Amino acid sequence: MTRTTLRGLTLALLIGASAPALTANAALAQAPTAAPSARPWLDAKLDADKRADLAVAAMTNDEKFTVIFGYFGADMKPKYTRHPDSLDASAGYVAGVPRLGIPGQWQTDAGVGVATQGARQDLRARTALPAGIATAATWNPELAQQGGAMIGKEARDSGFNVQLAGGVNLVREPRNGRNFEYGGEDPWLAGVMVAAQIRGIQSNKIISTIKHYALNAQETGRFVVSSNIGETAARTSDLLAFQFAIEQSDPHSVMCAYNRVNGTYACENDWLLNTVLKKDWGYKGYVMSDWGADHSSAKAANAGLDQESAGDAFDKQPFFAAPLKADLAAGRVSQARIDDMARRVLRALFASGAVDHPVPTPTSHDLPAATLAAHAKITQADAEEAIVLLKNDGDLLPLAKTAKTIAVIGAHADVGVLSGGGSSQVYPAGGRAVKGLEPATWPGPVIYYPSSPLKALQARYPNAKVVYDDGTDPARAAKLAAESELALVFADQWTTESVDAETLNLPKNQDATIDAVASANKKTVVVLITGGPVVMPWLDKVGAVVEAWYPGTAGGEAIARVLTGEVDASGRLPVTFPKSVADLPRPKLDGVGKAEGELFDVNYDIEGAAVGYKWYDLKKIEPLFPFGHGLSYGKFAYSGLTANAAGDKVTVSFDVKNVGARAGKDVPQVYVSPKAGGWEAPKRLAGFKKVSLAPGATQRVTLTVDPRLLATWDETARGWSIAAGQYDIALGSSSRSLVATAPVTLTSAKLPVSPNAR
């Protein structure tokens, strides 16, 4: 494993840390009571900007420094001790200003639910959504929003008002250990899906982040790597994903990343923070550093960092405490900038609703069973729509109802489903399904959620023999498969924050098990539980393959429902599955073998903005499974494609008809290409729509294309530029299955960098 550590100490030391403290929020979370006239910033009728101005004007400098400095929230003795007012085993805490009615900030990870950190890992049982990449695979923003609303509610009910969610880094490197936290490889898909989740979280009157800003595309050397890329390529790829997501969800905070960008740390990168984010995009929220990502006081503050996270624990010094005060006294940072930093944090607290609707002080670490039961339905719906049916020869799936013997093999499918590791780890109700796995400490533990695919299948086949083998001995698994009508092989790959996968092959000899089982029984179905793409040397031998990702705390039930056809298979790939690492822009992962702390660069100009499918299109490389791919049990036909241009606005319409015999869901996708070329790649995803149709039903879909997806970045004009000419609008069921094309003619146009530019 290629490993970098942050919480690098062994967490084994941590067992038995201090008793839970449930009263943390009590002092500061009381609803503001003083009359608005005495504290006019508490008047909810005023807008957030006005309220922040008024509050900052009333603050002492010490109070301003209070709201821009964060503490760690977990005991990791002997190295770290949590702030006493933090919530136990949480990501962090920022003190409030009770005198002014400003609450503290209680921070929790992350994108799949309320995570728990440090020694007291199992103290908070919560609902976990499927991985971020899985939610992106639903191509269903309504589901993403519903999931966000659910985990945001669990955060609020748990006493947190800042959720460190919203991972939108593009998948540039399929071996990246954190791909599971993100929204795939396309700026529009990732932007739309992550925005929907953030809107859901913030609907609970709490703050969500969006992260990790920016170009944080691998874990190997994450604290030192420089992501090197030209401006045009960055603006049309990773930054565009952030831009879309920020515009569509208004996250109140942006978390800057660990890595450097073009040689400068992301959290002290004036171009990224001041120029692009705050000036060009007109961002009004605050920038918080990732845990250990701040490297300076005045330099970072002047570059646009507004709040230092866990500055007592992970950074070399508590930069935004005494060092920044000294900088202020010496004139290295201005009073106006300190005011702006505090103001941005306060604005977020007002705009989110966190001041007017203080989070409750939790009286128990547990959530009511009824809440968890209701939330299980939400995560299950997400998992069901996330599952991608990659291959289905001879309609092997849905599983025959008449089957009398079914072999279920591998991946602990008898007891549970795997989840992704690191700070985003949510601990499930019901405890861990598999005990004693390594690594037991950071970046572990490795956790299987107690939602058993085997049991869910057995419940659906009461009169059949549904038998489990653990898959560790390929010959034994093959014997069971040979004796069974159907063989289901579950194969998984644990990926985690701080470590990249070494290869795209499944670990632990699972390829051999699948191969042996498929040799013994043609009716072999492979169920993949992975954080991203894997290669499939056995693909030609198996009948069907589904990608279930990390499916969350109701994953076993969701998998069974898709395999048996109770629900349609309606996920689509948000990421290309390559045939081999040899096809990647960087077949060798940069930084492997470097000494810890040694600086190195990754050249992202190799692919530039041609990320994912764009690279494969540009280089004419056939992928294993293309972006957008996924089969349904239903059958859909597209017709009546029209595309119209009015100025820079392109509108696309078409009919989708369910021509099969069963109800189902489909995801028609629209791609756009300039006839004259000149883009980073032949085509871009320009729109999509998830439709749900009864047999025989037709839906007319109309989409408008964001004009930036028709444009290129103009470095001189510092804006977007649409070239006059003909463009093809193509409709299909994946990036490589386009069934109809309509031309549009565009006139040349110049667009500002953002509608909110300052």
Known catalytic residues? 290
DSSP assignment of 41-74 equals GG-TTS-HHHHHHHHHHH--HHHHHHHTBEEEES
Q: What is the smallest separation between the CB atom of 638 and ligand BGC, expressed in angstroms?
A: 40
Asked if 164 is part of the footprint of ligand BGC (rule: CB under 6 A), the reply reads yes
* Residue among 252 and 708 whose Cβ is closer to ligand BGC: 252
* Residue among 194 and 744 whose Cβ is closer to ligand BGC: 194
Query: How far is Cα 111 from Cα 470, in angstroms, rounded to an integer?
Result: 31
Which x/- pattern, by CB under 6 A, does the window 595-624 give for ligand BGC? ------------------------------
Q: 82-112 burial, b for 16+ CB within 10 Å, e for fewer? A: bbebbbbbbbbbbbbbeebbbbbbbbbbbbb
Please report, for residues 152, 416, 694, 727, the alpha-carbon distance to residue 653 in angstroms, rounded to integers and kept in the order given.
35, 43, 20, 16
The letter for the amino acid at 343 is R
* Residue among 110 and 686 whose Cβ is closer to ligand BGC: 110
| Percent helix / strand / coil, the chain, rounded to 5 | 30, 25, 50
* Residue among 116 and 204 whose Cβ is closer to ligand BGC: 116
What is the SS3 assignment for 738?
Answer: strand
Q: What is the smallest separation between the CB atom of 114 and ligand BGC, expressed in angstroms?
A: 12
For tokens 């961002």, what's the residue? 283
What is the SS3 assignment for 529?
Answer: strand
Query: How far is Cα 73 from Cα 84, in angstroms, rounded to an integer?
Result: 8
Q: What is the smallest separation between the CB atom of 182 and ligand BGC, expressed in angstroms?
A: 11
Asked if 201 is part of the footprint of ligand BGC (rule: CB under 6 A), the reply reads no
How many helices (DSSP H) and strands (DSSP E) are in the chain? 17, 33
Residues in the chain: 758
Q: What is the smallest separation between the CB atom of 362 and ligand BGC, expressed in angstroms?
A: 19
Q: What is the smallest separation between the CB atom of 106 and ligand BGC, expressed in angstroms?
A: 13
Q: What is the smallest separation between the CB atom of 137 and ligand BGC, expressed in angstroms?
A: 21
* Residue among 498 and 510 whose Cβ is closer to ligand BGC: 498
* Residue among 160 and 633 whose Cβ is closer to ligand BGC: 160
Count of residues binding ligand BGC (CB under 6 A)? 9
Of 54, 67, 110, 526, the one binding ligand BGC by CB under 6 A:
110
Asked if 6 is part of the footprint of ligand BGC (rule: CB under 6 A), the reply reads yes
Phi, psi of 207 (to 5 degrees): -90, 135
Phi, psi of 619 (to 5 degrees): -90, 0
Please report, for residues 352, 581, 640, the alpha-carbon distance to residue 420 in angstroms, rounded to integers and kept in the order given.
29, 22, 43
What is the SS3 assignment for 417?
Answer: strand
Tokens of residue 511, six digits: 């390829």
Give the footprint of ligand BGC on residues 273-302 (CB under 6 A). Answer: 290-291
* Residue among 109 and 154 whose Cβ is closer to ligand BGC: 109
Asked if 109 is part of the footprint of ligand BGC (rule: CB under 6 A), the reply reads yes
Query: How far is Cα 105 from Cα 111, in angstroms, rounded to an integer?
Result: 18
Q: What is the smallest separation between the CB atom of 311 and ligand BGC, expressed in angstroms?
A: 13
Calculate Rg over the CA atoms of the chain. 25
Query: How far is Cα 148 from Cα 142, in angstroms, rounded to an integer?
Result: 10
Asked if 91 is part of the footprint of ligand BGC (rule: CB under 6 A), the reply reads yes
* Residue among 442 and 713 whose Cβ is closer to ligand BGC: 442
Query: How far is Cα 647 from Cα 250, in angstroms, rounded to an integer?
Result: 27
Query: How far is Cα 123 from Cα 109, in angstroms, rounded to an integer?
Result: 15
DSSP assignment of 353-394 equals TTTTSPPP--S-SSPPHHHHHHHHHHHHHHHHHH-EEEEEGG
* Residue among 114 and 711 whose Cβ is closer to ligand BGC: 114
Give the footprint of ligand BGC on residues 412-431 (CB under 6 A). Answer: 423
Q: What is the smallest separation between the CB atom of 292 and ligand BGC, expressed in angstroms?
A: 7
Burial of 581 (0-12, 13-18, 19+ CB in 10 A): middle
Q: What is the smallest separation between the CB atom of 211 and ligand BGC, expressed in angstroms?
A: 6
Asked if 75 is part of the footprint of ligand BGC (rule: CB under 6 A), the reply reads no
* Residue among 80 and 636 whose Cβ is closer to ligand BGC: 80
φ/ψ bin of 436: left (φ > 0), alpha (ψ from -120 to 50), beta (otherwise): left
Q: What is the smallest separation between the CB atom of 91 and ligand BGC, expressed in angstroms?
A: 4
Burial of 334 (0-12, 13-18, 19+ CB in 10 A): middle
* Residue among 167 and 184 whose Cβ is closer to ligand BGC: 167
Query: How far is Cα 345 from Cα 284, in angstroms, rounded to an integer?
Result: 10
Q: What is the smallest separation between the CB atom of 287 and ligand BGC, expressed in angstroms?
A: 14
**Contacting positions for ligand BGC (CB under 6 A):** 6, 91, 109-110, 164, 211, 290-291, 423
